[in-house]
Structure 1
Amino acid sequence: MKKLLNTVCAVALLALSWGAVQAQTYPSKPVKIVVPFGPGGFTDVVARILGVKLSESLGQPVVIENRPGAGSMIGSDQVAKSAPDGHTLLIVSSTHVISPWIYKSVPYDPIRAFAPVSKLVDSPYVLLTNPKVPAKNVQEFIALAKAQPDGIHYASSGNGSAQHLIGGLFASMTKTQLKHVPYRSSNLAATDLVAGVVESSFAGVPNALAQVPNGRLNALAVTSAKRIPQLPNVPTMQEAGVTGFDATIWLALLAPAGTPASIVNRLNSDVAKIMSTPETQKAMYDAGVEVSLSSPAAMSQLMVSEMDKWGKVVKEAGIKLE
């Protein structure tokens, strides 16, 4: 028995020593952050702000790779199957824990296939309309949609995306029949919205800030429970008459499951320092998001609770994809 205990202790000490060695030598090559959405959306914007500062902190280049498609599953699957050495990371949105409720098949377990590093930011979405749409507020938009069943379209960054889900939630809560039009990125969706190809979109704050002040798009409401400082004159959905509507999206940094705790903790510490600086916080504010950090353990718990929360939303909204 004593020999067995000695063996167990030796193995544990060896694992700790190996983890310490990995932490000291990490990173040994460029780090890649996969963004499972197209360029131009707020996930991409946050990734690029973080990437520049993280490169300085790690002493290695940090490359941002956009891998959009299938409601963020293509990029996420790539990282889930990557070596768990901290050199391939993933920035996800709430979509990450929504996909299992929408798609019949997800090629990875959104919880078990990843090692959470940290929550990064929170952000609402904004109901935007093309100026040619005669509705000037949410109630007029609802009335217009009811008068033209399936005649009002809303663009999103893809099937199963947060934009898609929030649009479905809005349609469900207002008993309207909005026609969903999926794009490969929120940037492409915004481009067609400005051009008048589609009438509306539940877009990220960066897209709103790029188009609303110059009058190219109208902002009818934000999806959070409180107004946001970047668009102080835009009401919340609840203020606009959609009682109980509150849909804020988060972003988080993940690594593949099995990544040593020493590396995860190193990344968590570096991210916390970067995101807490006035310079980064201003950049995030300008991008329309609010810095919101966490420990790896707290992020893991949040993912589990959010998966349960959005599962109920998906069922109530009746959203399902093949």
Structure 2
Amino acid sequence: MLNRRHLIALTPALLAAPALRAQPAFPNRPIRLLVGFAPGGTTDVAARLLAPRMQAALGQSVVIENRPGAGSNIATEAVVRSPADGHTLLLGTIGGLAVNPTLYGSLPYDPQTDLTAISRVAMILNVLAVPADRPWRSVAEVVTASRADALTFGTSGVGGAGHLAGEQLNAMARLQNTHVPYRGGGALISDFITGKVDMAFTPYSGVRPHAEAGRVRLLGVTTAARSRLAPDVPSIAETPGLAGFDMADWSTLMAPRGVPAPVVEVLNRAVTAALAEAQVVQALAERGIEATPSTPAECAAFIRSETEKWAPVVRASGATPN
């Protein structure tokens, strides 16, 4: 028979039992990973390489859902409005998380307070390229030509990494080059290789085959230093007068605000393990993407710093979503 002393000793365990029962194992059903772009782009490719490895680590299916539109705002808002249980995730991008708050002026959510950072995922290498029929063979020559007569630069859309790179070049070199946004990378490349725009800021993976075929020339990578993914291509920052030029495209794994810390930890371990696999690293590299896992805190701090960095560039450009 239990006496009073035994009951007192058991009280903490009895009180804790309901709390333990209230926290079901995670994950307990398939996970949805939303991508704010159509299938086939670099963000979608990264998601599809990541998902099966996370699935193996988590023991549940990770299902990709493409929700293109409004610069990834549609996908982002869908995740923001989802239950904070870790079963709905977003592969966020520089445009959706760091640029759109300034570009759109007003959003129905705040990426920094309405989302939970899980981990950085990848850096996507972008390049400045020109059609083969243009005479320029260096970024310096492009700058000189732009000062004589403003050129056009094509990108995959307003507010994306290519747009930011073009506006940063305008600002640093005091140019007035005109942005020509396309609806996605495929449409851009189609016009670009036939010379309908003077240059393009675009992911390396999409333009590399055309460079190898002699249809375009790669003049510079947009990162601060040369990339091991394209070591023979100089950085734009090597150009006299453009020291400090740095536009690094990126993606991060995000969840709704309020996801419990233990769930964040499980997800972070899964993505970190996936991005450490040699096969994943190699597959990403072949597509011009570098794996960049991080802690949740590092990811959140990175997004804050990128938002602060690009807000004045977006404002100075006068860009609007339409």
TM-score, scaled relative to structure 2: 0.87
In the TM superposition, what is the alpha-carbon distance from 1:215 to its structure 2 partner? 2.1
**Alpha-carbon distance between aligned partners in 2 of 1:17 and 1:194, rounded to the nearest angstrom:** 60
Change (3 A) 1:187 1:55: farther
The one-letter code matched in structure 2 to 1:64 is I
Per the alignment, residue 104 of structure 1 pairs with: 105
**Alpha-carbon distance between aligned partners in 1 of 2:64 and 2:238, rounded to the nearest angstrom:** 38
Does the 8 Å contact 1:70/1:160 carry over to 2?
Answer: no
Matched, 1:267 2:267: yes
Alignment RMSD (CA, Å): 2.5
Describe the superposition over 1:156-205 as per-residue Cα deviations: whole angstroms up to 9, x where unpaired.
22211122111111111122222212222223322321233323211122
In the TM superposition, what is the alpha-carbon distance from 1:299 to its structure 2 partner? 1.4
Per the alignment, residue 141 of structure 1 pairs with: 142
**Alpha-carbon distance between aligned partners in 2 of 1:118 and 1:254, rounded to the nearest angstrom:** 7
Per the alignment, residue 18 of structure 1 pairs with: 22
**Alpha-carbon distance between aligned partners in 2 of 1:224 and 1:114, rounded to the nearest angstrom:** 27
Does the 8 Å contact 1:165/1:319 carry over to 2?
Answer: no
The within-5 A match list for 1:44-123 is: 44-95=44-95, 96-123=97-124
SS in 2 for 1:238: helix
Does the 8 Å contact 1:38/1:186 carry over to 2?
Answer: no
In the TM superposition, what is the alpha-carbon distance from 1:232 to its structure 2 partner? 1.7
Does the 8 Å contact 1:27/1:58 carry over to 2?
Answer: no
The one-letter code matched in structure 2 to 1:207 is G
Change (3 A) 1:145 1:33: same
**Alpha-carbon distance between aligned partners in 1 of 2:63 and 2:89, rounded to the nearest angstrom:** 10
Does the 8 Å contact 1:38/1:184 carry over to 2?
Answer: no
The within-5 A match list for 1:166-177 is: 166-177=165-176
Per the alignment, residue 213 of structure 2 pairs with: 214
Does the 8 Å contact 1:124/1:247 carry over to 2?
Answer: no
In the TM superposition, what is the alpha-carbon distance from 1:237 to its structure 2 partner? 0.8
**Alpha-carbon distance between aligned partners in 2 of 1:114 and 1:318, rounded to the nearest angstrom:** 27
Per the alignment, residue 193 of structure 2 pairs with: 194
Per the alignment, residue 155 of structure 1 pairs with: 154
SS in 1 for 2:205: helix
**Alpha-carbon distance between aligned partners in 1 of 2:314 and 2:137, rounded to the nearest angstrom:** 28
Change (3 A) 1:65 1:211: farther
Per the alignment, residue 249 of structure 2 pairs with: 249
The one-letter code matched in structure 1 to 2:182 is Y
In the TM superposition, what is the alpha-carbon distance from 1:83 to its structure 2 partner? 2.5
Per the alignment, residue 5 of structure 1 pairs with: none
The one-letter code matched in structure 2 to 1:156 is T
In the TM superposition, what is the alpha-carbon distance from 1:275 to its structure 2 partner? 0.7
**Alpha-carbon distance between aligned partners in 2 of 1:93 and 1:309, rounded to the nearest angstrom:** 15
In the TM superposition, what is the alpha-carbon distance from 1:46 to its structure 2 partner? 1.0
Does the 8 Å contact 2:167/2:313 carry over to 1?
Answer: no
Per the alignment, residue 3 of structure 1 pairs with: none
SS in 2 for 1:243: coil
Change (3 A) 1:230 1:303: closer
**Alpha-carbon distance between aligned partners in 1 of 2:33 and 2:275, rounded to the nearest angstrom:** 16
SS in 1 for 2:310: helix
The one-letter code matched in structure 2 to 1:272 is T
Does the 8 Å contact 2:161/2:247 carry over to 1?
Answer: no
**Alpha-carbon distance between aligned partners in 1 of 2:46 and 2:107, rounded to the nearest angstrom:** 25
SS in 1 for 2:100: helix
SS in 2 for 1:120: strand
Per the alignment, residue 313 of structure 2 pairs with: 313
Change (3 A) 1:188 1:251: same
Describe the superposition over 1:105-144 as per-residue Cα deviations: whole angstroms up to 9, x where unpaired.
2121111111111111223420011212221211221222
Per the alignment, residue 7 of structure 2 pairs with: none
Per the alignment, residue 126 of structure 1 pairs with: 127
Q: Which runs of 5+ in 1 are unaligned?
A: 1-8
**Alpha-carbon distance between aligned partners in 1 of 2:249 and 2:20, rounded to the nearest angstrom:** 36
Name the % identity.
35
The one-letter code matched in structure 2 to 1:195 is T
**Which of 1 and 2 has greater Rg?**
2
Change (3 A) 1:134 1:12: farther
Per the alignment, residue 290 of structure 2 pairs with: 290
Change (3 A) 1:100 1:61: same
Deviates more, 1:139-148 or 1:43-52: 139-148
